[in-house]
Amino acid sequence: AAIEARVQASFDALADRILPVDREIAALWGRLLGTNDKHTDDTGLAATARIHRLILVTRNTADVAGRGVTTLDPYSASPRIRPA
């Protein structure tokens, strides 16, 4: 119960920063995956970033390449924004 309370408190504190997966995101996610089920989670993040016109900050830039999303790898020796 204590863990659940801490998780709920975290969700409450971050409520304005959590983006739901709605129909539009789910549909784009599916289209981006096509018949390739590799990098499923990364593709979902890419779909969310595209719909909301956000920069996807990730170390896995190669996993979302060609998905039409702008990325930033903060772990790169020289971090830079890579346009879609």
Domain map (residue ranges) of the chain: 20-82
C-alpha dihedral (22, 25, 26, 30), degrees to nearest 10: 180
Pairing assessment for the beta strands 56-57 and 71-72 based on DSSP bridges: parallel
Q: What is the pLDDT of residues 45-76, one digit of tens each?
A: 999 999 999 999 999 999 999 999 999 999 98
Task: Kindly indicate the confidence band of residue 82, based on its pLDDT and cuts at 50, 70 and 90.
Answer: confident
Pairing assessment for the beta strands 81-82 and 71-72 based on DSSP bridges: antiparallel
Rg of the chain over Cα atoms, rounded to whole angstroms, equals 15
